[in-house]
Amino acid sequence: MWSLDEAQARGVRPHAYRERETAVTSEAIDIRPPARSLSLPLRRTIRPLLRDPVNMLAGTAQRARGKVVRLNLGPFRPYLVSHPDHVQQVLRGDWENHPREGAFWKPVERLAGRSILTEGPDWESSRRILQPLFTSRYVASLTQDMAETIDEELTAWEAHARAGRWIDVCEELGRLVSRTVIRVLFGDKISVADAERLAPAYGIAATSFTSRLLMPFAPEWVPMPGDRAFKRAAEVIDDVVLPLVRQARRDPGDGNDIISALARARRDEDDPSAERRIRDDLVSIYGSSSETTAVALTWLWPLLHDHPEVAARLYDEVETVVGHGPVDPSCLPRLTYMKSVFQEMLRLYPPGWMIPRMARRAGLLGDVPIEPGATLLISPYVTHRLEEFWERPNEFDPERFAVDQRERRHRYAYFPFGGGPHLCLGQHLFYVEAPLIVAGILARFRPRVRAPRPLTPFPGASMRPKETVEVRLDPVAGGAGA
């Protein structure tokens, strides 16, 4: 984005700059209510926004063909940024001018404090400590433990299969991933009883701020639905996490778990805020690693059910590569079709569906002037469905990610893990954990799915289906679950 000075240097006269600023609003695609209905604008846009906000934004961007769109939401008028060039500019090229600030980040900060999920020196210091922990080498060192934990958890799923029970797959996956994360990343420092409290509390906290996400203009002091649930959940989270942090600060040990690593890295910071900073990063990592993975894999089962040819190919691959026993981590590189299935699943249903930013200075995005303080909404869900960049964008087709297809794409036409300096730390972890889980399930069971269609994306901290997805696990002949 250009600053005003740069825009002038490029021949955009100040008054023309202002004219264009005015023009943007009238040129913006027509989602504004009629000008006469002055009392209606908010209600008119709020209703579709409340009903199905994610698809409302995707439809808006599609009609605008990737142009920057100004949304008129009454007191709040963010820009919807969907063109890959613009996404790249905001997340990478000019990222310092687009911090993670503004109303959308307040609920995150209420839950995760001044952590890796913020901006500025606090983010920098957390990223410096945490980044080395998430390299592919570090993740490889956790793989065996991860495989064993997942195998134990899936063995417990056999009781559901034997009883022919329909399970809420989002809930069950949430439990499985949470236990895996706690065991592997937190070095089993959280007791089973505390883990049982932490997972639901985090789930409540992460979904209870949806109304604040949808109405970010509402001031903090205005009570909103979900506020009380959020507060109670945050108290439970602190109740579990703070004693661990205190213990780790007294004796960080030499383990390679995140709690020990954070405590060691902040050993010399004896200011009272160090305890809070460790707590904030732990909560951030726990949330980023458990919610996202479980929610992502919830979308998989209806997709496989609706695409039997994809399911059959995936089952074949698992049968050939893994067989029916526990998953040996050395098999993972050979699950190539599964990787394409995951990539396509994350294209259609990226859990990190919204990546909001704030413009610090005035500038241009494409040919649209943006004023300082404006909110920019970037959404992988929206960009991943632009017809200009994806053929048959709403169709599930893992072949798009076959090796020979990858190079042809704009880097920012596909960004389920974000991009630029805030690029997700957990990509490697996801691509180890998710195949271990799915291969583990398919080596034992054939899932049947019960869920309404179409599923509506529900915009919490991670994008999950609004409807419950139920799965019944039929044992595979000759498998451990039979």
Contact residues toward ligand HEM (CB under 6 A) are: 100, 116-117, 127, 134, 284-285, 288-289, 292-293, 296, 346, 350-352, 355, 416-418, 422, 424-426, 429-430
Min. distance of Cβ 299 from ligand HEM in angstroms?
A: 10
Nearer to ligand HEM, 173 or 274 (CB): 173
Min. distance of Cβ 300 from ligand HEM in angstroms?
A: 11
Nearer to ligand HEM, 181 or 370 (CB): 181
Nearer to ligand HEM, 396 or 476 (CB): 396
Min. distance of Cβ 334 from ligand HEM in angstroms?
A: 21
Min. distance of Cβ 308 from ligand HEM in angstroms?
A: 24
Min. distance of Cβ 109 from ligand HEM in angstroms?
A: 13
Nearer to ligand HEM, 426 or 459 (CB): 426
Nearer to ligand HEM, 357 or 472 (CB): 357
Nearer to ligand HEM, 249 or 422 (CB): 422
Min. distance of Cβ 8 from ligand HEM in angstroms?
A: 31
Neighbouring CB atoms inside 10 A of 453's CB total 8
Nearer to ligand HEM, 210 or 289 (CB): 289
Min. distance of Cβ 371 from ligand HEM in angstroms?
A: 21
Nearer to ligand HEM, 374 or 429 (CB): 429
List phi, psi (to 5°) of 414: -135, 110
Nearer to ligand HEM, 285 or 382 (CB): 285
Nearer to ligand HEM, 224 or 282 (CB): 282
- Ranked by CB distance to ligand HEM, the top (closest) residue is 426
Min. distance of Cβ 382 from ligand HEM in angstroms?
A: 13
HEC letters along the chain: CCCHHHHHHCCCCHHHHHHHHHHHHHHCCCCCCCCCCCCCHHHHHHHHHHHCHHHHHHHHHHHCCCCCEECCECCECCEEECCHHHHHHHHHHCHHHCCCCCCCHHHHHHHHCCCCCCCHHHHHHHHHHHHHHHCHHHHHHHHHHHHHHHHHHHHHHHHHHHHCCEEEHHHHHHHHHHHHHHHHHCCCCCCHHHHHHHHHHHHHHHHHCHHHHHCCCCCCCCCCCCHHHHHHHHHHHHHHHHHHHHHHHHCCCCCCCHHHHHHHHCCCCCCCHHHHHHHHHHHHHHHHHHHHHHHHHHHHHHHHHHCHHHHHHHHHHHHHHCCCCCCCHHHHHHCHHHHHHHHHHHHHCCCCCCEEEECCCCEEECCEEECCCCEEEECHHHHCCCCCCCCCCCCCCHHHHCHHHHHHCCHHHCCCCCCHHHCCCCHHHHHHHHHHHHHHHHHHEEEEEECCCCCCEEECCCEEECCCCEEEEEECCCCCCC
Round to whole Å and give the CA distance between 388 and 354. Answer: 20
Min. distance of Cβ 177 from ligand HEM in angstroms?
A: 9
Min. distance of Cβ 129 from ligand HEM in angstroms?
A: 11
